[in-house]
Structure 1
């Protein structure tokens, strides 16, 4: 039997964000009593919570989120287990040796670290496992389609360099995933559909996995 697992952090008023990002505001705009219906005003950045990055995030000439190849965002994804690594660990190509047979051109990979459990603590935003520039280059050479992380970013210090390597290679970067520990299989059908925000750099997503789906690529 197929099973759907939500992999998304909640959005709520004053939910914490990266230090330099816009604050999150979820406010009541109309209510049943005031206007006979409920409507809420949502103010968040394109990179709040569980979201994805488009190349335009770091390149003015890069592909915008409404122009992404959605086949990179939806399809079979490999779950790679890194729950044994410590905070602030710099992931290197050598760490991926056990998984190299599962990674190739067009691959979608999800890195399970269980770091989402630190949310909404301050250290969630600063102390998580990191994608080293060396690993980013290795993944770019592999020509993967997408990488998904349970951290809010790729690297707290070398974030510009790592982003430019990955996004420059047209790799979709999904950040802020959660609940990968609930997955029972090593591969799933993964969905990370962005909002169609015209001409912009990223989008919040409702990430989910489907296990035991009869047919997927």
Structure 2
């Protein structure tokens, strides 16, 4: 029997006033129950569902009935790999992915590391200048039957792509999107991990914060 060698947490911690998508309100997490006063600690939270590491459902960008509580967990839990394409500018293209693609990536979860998670801060660069997929890169992932795609930036496509065509294309084919990952440098190139992506089950919502982990079974 193969045991778990290591669990790598790929989720950003949610905290008050953390960097989020530029047009979204900042989260507010504050104590409302205090142990010394009330006999317990408890917090209230106010934030949008696409805060921190989160999953986009088709309903987010399409006239689709598939909300986050209806996502197929078989597409969010399974084997996956990290990829580190080399790219120029802000677009990761089909050619960039093709140069480093391996057959074993087909049909699995793919997590894209750009290194952007290391820049996390309230800066113009982190909030607005992040890289993302081009349309042809999204089509490439669909052609390779990727179940879900994650990235370590605030969006799956560059911020200046205001039409959100990459989002729409992927979600129209039920390729689920995971954004704002972290710690991807902890994953090895070409190594297969068991990926668990669990969004909170908000009924009727367009997406949800998620705890994302990569499990190393020592294979």
* C-alpha deviation, 1:100, in angstroms: 4.5
Q: 1:99 to 1:51 in 2, by over 3 A?
A: same
TM-score (norm. length: structure 1) = 0.90
Q: Describe the SS at the equivalent of 1:199.
A: coil
Equivalence for 2:58: 55
* C-alpha deviation, 1:114, in angstroms: 1.6
**Contiguous gaps of at least 5 residues in structure 1:** none
Q: Does 1:42 align with 2:45?
A: yes
Matched residue pairs, number? 211
Mapping of 1:122-161 within 5 angstroms?
122=123, 123-155=125-157, 156-158=159-161, 160-161=164-165
Q: Describe the SS at the equivalent of 2:137.
A: helix
Mapping of 1:61-100 within 5 angstroms?
61-82=64-85, 84-85=86-87, 88-97=89-98, 98-100=100-102
Q: Does 1:193 align with 2:194?
A: no
Q: Describe the SS at the equivalent of 1:191.
A: strand
Equivalence for 1:212: 217
Equivalence for 1:116: 117
Could you report, residue by residue, the CA deviation over 1:101-135 in whole angstroms, capped at 9, with x for unpaired residues?
Answer: 2333x321011222100102422222222100111
Q: Describe the SS at the equivalent of 2:101.
A: helix
* C-alpha deviation, 1:2, in angstroms: 1.0
Across the aligned residues of Structure 1 and Structure 2, the Cα RMSD in angstroms comes to 1.7
TM-score (norm. length: structure 2) = 0.90
